[in-house]
Structure 1
Amino acid sequence: MIDKTWTSAADAVSDIPDGASLAVGGFGLSGNPIALIEALLAQGTRDLSVVSNNCGVDDWGLGILLGAGRIRKMTSSYVGENKEFERQFLSGELELELTPQGTLAEKLRAGGAGIAAFYTQTGVGTQVAEGGLPQRYDGAGGIAVASPIKDVRVFDVDGVPREFVLEEAITTDFSLVHAWKGDRHGNLVFRKAARNFNPLAAMAGRVCIAQVEHLVEPGEIDPDDVHLPGVYVHRLVEVGPGIEKRIEKRTVREGVTEPGPVPSTSSGPSASMSKEF
């Protein structure tokens, strides 16, 4: 029997070195592997290159690593919820590779599937393909590093010639993900909106570390219910169903009573997405 469980989040991330690359699950604050992020913060790891849909908020998710100056580069599709992110990027402290969201998802999936690169129509005719997007500023308003020009080719699609841009896959040294349930062999089940980028990030990491709310024995998860097979997962830490979960924003119409606190066990869209309801 291959038991992939570890005793604590601190132990599970203890060998992540300075300068490592990480793929981190989550969308907004939904599905953030917060226990693993906090453990990484506590051990002092720095100079990280992180691939994630976004960078949390100023005091939660990846935002706590950013605020402590631990992240050197972010590869993301959305960065609009974090003022410290804006400050660090414009001052030249942080490098950013801004990537279309669907492209980012496929780059992670392709990396996990052993596909080196792929062509997509997304970004054709823009700076995504033509280069020149600021990746690092010089601190004085100038661009120190700009995105490169990418290969564009024409393919015949249903008899119509169309341009496609080449995008390289992403693999990282480690990945950190959150799952609702996992067995000791590493088979994972995600819950509702918290599924988001977590399976893709898990696939892209050479060493995948997963925090799970419920740890069960092998065989207790029906094979048809497995969202990510254990072959992609190397370490598991049980964090329990009471782990804190946050929402970026809660907006209600004027005159409507605001609902009570969201239970910590909820992972559905209403509990984890930054949307109006």
Structure 2
Amino acid sequence: MTKLCASAAVAVSDIVSGASLAVGGFGLCGIPDVLIAAIAQGSATDLEIFSNNCGTDGIGLGILLAGKRIRRVTASYVGENSEFARQYLSGELEVELTPQGTLAEKLRAGGAGIPAFFTPAGVGTLVAEGGLPWRYRVDGSVALASPPKEVREFDGRRYVLERSVTTDFALVHAQTGDTEGNLVFNKAAMNFNPLAAMAARTCIAQVENLVQPGELDPAQVHLPGVFVDRIVHTGAQPKHIERRTVTPAKAPIV
């Protein structure tokens, strides 16, 4: 059975309300923007998202956020999205902030079949002790806070127990892929994409360049096709920049 889908709309057609999604990308680098846009064109809502961040206003996951399609987000960074902050602080969105390395390991461990793991990240903070606001009320009070987690000592050092993540779907972006789902990512655009793909029961990949089986050097494949269930050939997409910073032009020397 072919993994190649005729369109992004076809590829995401069975993502229903209440589904959980692991989404690749770091900021706006390596985001599966075409797949996200296809979901936005559908009717799925109350989505639970696991991603490093939630895009920016009007770009990437920010599109689903603006449409009130997301119920809960587990992320590491949310600073570039004003609508995210507004929904969180007004009680419209549930948010679990997680150390970035912990989130990466949650996804990797989930894909490896490891239900939980111990990490030193977060020990001695609200991450381990509980009390992080997950959801606010309209009046600004905390409606739901994170529970305390198990902390155990190994070889004289304390570690906190973190549960792994598995999701219904993953959305990832690759520079090149073959029709069997073997993927190659472009430099830093690799970021969370392989980890998101591993954690999902169904992985959907958008690829800029589509090749036939055998055309990729096996030694250069970043993610084996066994992790990928569906492929959408999108061609090259516009690359967005979160915040452009340039050095002011200097006056010419005469």
Shared fold by TM > 0.5? Answer: yes
Q: Shift in Å at residue 256 of structure 1?
A: 5.5
Cross-structure match for 2:244: 250
* Gaps in structure 2 of 5+ consecutive residues: none
Q: Secondary structure at the match of 2:108?
A: helix
Taking the aligned partners of 1:255 and 1:211, their CA distance within structure 2 comes to: 39
CA shift digits 1:3-27 (9 cap, x unpaired):
2110100000000000000000000
Q: Shift in Å at residue 80 of structure 1?
A: 0.3
Amino acid at match of 1:247: I
Cross-structure match for 2:72: 73
Q: Secondary structure at the match of 1:72?
A: strand
* Gaps in structure 1 of 5+ consecutive residues: 258-277
Relative to structure 1, the CA distance from residue 140 to residue 236 in structure 2 (aligned partners, 3 Å threshold; closer, same or farther) is same
Cross-structure match for 1:261: none
Q: Shift in Å at residue 219 of structure 1?
A: 0.7
Q: Secondary structure at the match of 2:4?
A: coil
Q: Is it true that 1:237 corresponds to 2:200 in the alignment?
A: no
Amino acid at match of 1:203: M
Taking the aligned partners of 1:81 and 1:135, their CA distance within structure 2 comes to: 19
Q: Is it true that 1:121 corresponds to 2:120 in the alignment?
A: yes
Q: Shift in Å at residue 215 of structure 1?
A: 0.7
Q: Shift in Å at residue 103 of structure 1?
A: 0.3
Cross-structure match for 2:183: 188
Relative to structure 1, the CA distance from residue 237 to residue 125 in structure 2 (aligned partners, 3 Å threshold; closer, same or farther) is same
Taking the aligned partners of 1:245 and 1:18, their CA distance within structure 2 comes to: 29
Q: Is it true that 1:166 corresponds to 2:161 in the alignment?
A: yes
Q: Secondary structure at the match of 1:180?
A: strand
Taking the aligned partners of 2:97 and 2:223, their CA distance within structure 1 comes to: 27
Taking the aligned partners of 1:256 and 1:134, their CA distance within structure 2 comes to: 47
Taking the aligned partners of 2:171 and 2:211, their CA distance within structure 1 comes to: 20
Cross-structure match for 1:209: 204
Taking the aligned partners of 1:256 and 1:43, their CA distance within structure 2 comes to: 49
How much identity, in percent, do the aligned residues show? Answer: 66
Relative to structure 1, the CA distance from residue 256 to residue 49 in structure 2 (aligned partners, 3 Å threshold; closer, same or farther) is farther
TM-score (ref. length: structure 2): 0.97
Cross-structure match for 1:42: 41
Q: Shift in Å at residue 245 of structure 1?
A: 1.6
Match of 1:222 among 217, 228, 237: 217
Q: Secondary structure at the match of 1:17?
A: coil
How many residue pairs are counted as aligned between the two chains? 251
TM-score (ref. length: structure 1): 0.89
Relative to structure 1, the CA distance from residue 187 to residue 150 in structure 2 (aligned partners, 3 Å threshold; closer, same or farther) is same
Taking the aligned partners of 1:141 and 1:249, their CA distance within structure 2 comes to: 30
Cross-structure match for 1:273: none
Q: Shift in Å at residue 193 of structure 1?
A: 1.2
Q: Secondary structure at the match of 1:167?
A: strand
Q: Secondary structure at the match of 2:84?
A: helix
Q: Secondary structure at the match of 1:174?
A: strand
